[in-house]
């Protein structure tokens, strides 16, 4: 039982690390979108692999979570036009 509890904590730690790294990558996207696309695509592939492995060896809940993360990351890969700033009304 300790093995499964410990493994769950390890996975949770890596998911927290992933969220912090992706947060930092998002800040860089304003400067160099192409560079951040490659890094984000790597995370997409990792989450797709994790979803498949979770579905095969674990159960559906983690597979669904990893799939949702991958979908959100794919959405982040789509380039968006520059937002036009509206003059602030005081």
* pLDDT one-digit tens code per residue, 13-65: 888 899 999 889 888 888 888 888 989 999 999 999 999 998 888 888 888 98
**How far does CA 68 lie from the centroid of its chain?**
9
**What is the C-alpha separation between 79 and 76, in angstroms, rounded?**
8
**What is the C-alpha separation between 1 and 62, in angstroms, rounded?**
19
> Maximum distance among all alpha carbons in the chain?
61
**What is the C-alpha separation between 23 and 41, in angstroms, rounded?**
15
What predicted TM-score, i.e. pTM, was given to this entire model? Answer: 0.75
């Amino acid at each position: 039982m300790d093995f499964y509890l410990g493994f769950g904590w390890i996975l949770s730690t890596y998911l927290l690390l992933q969220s912090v790294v992706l947060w930092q990558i998002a800040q860089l996207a304003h400067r160099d979108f192409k560079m951040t696309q490659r890094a984000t695509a790597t995370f997409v592939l990792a989450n797709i692999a994790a979803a498949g492995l979770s579905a095969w060896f674990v159960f559906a809940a983690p597979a669904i979570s990893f799939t949702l993360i991958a979908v959100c990351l794919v959405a982040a890969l789509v380039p968006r036009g520059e937002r036009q700033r509206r003059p602030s009304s005081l």
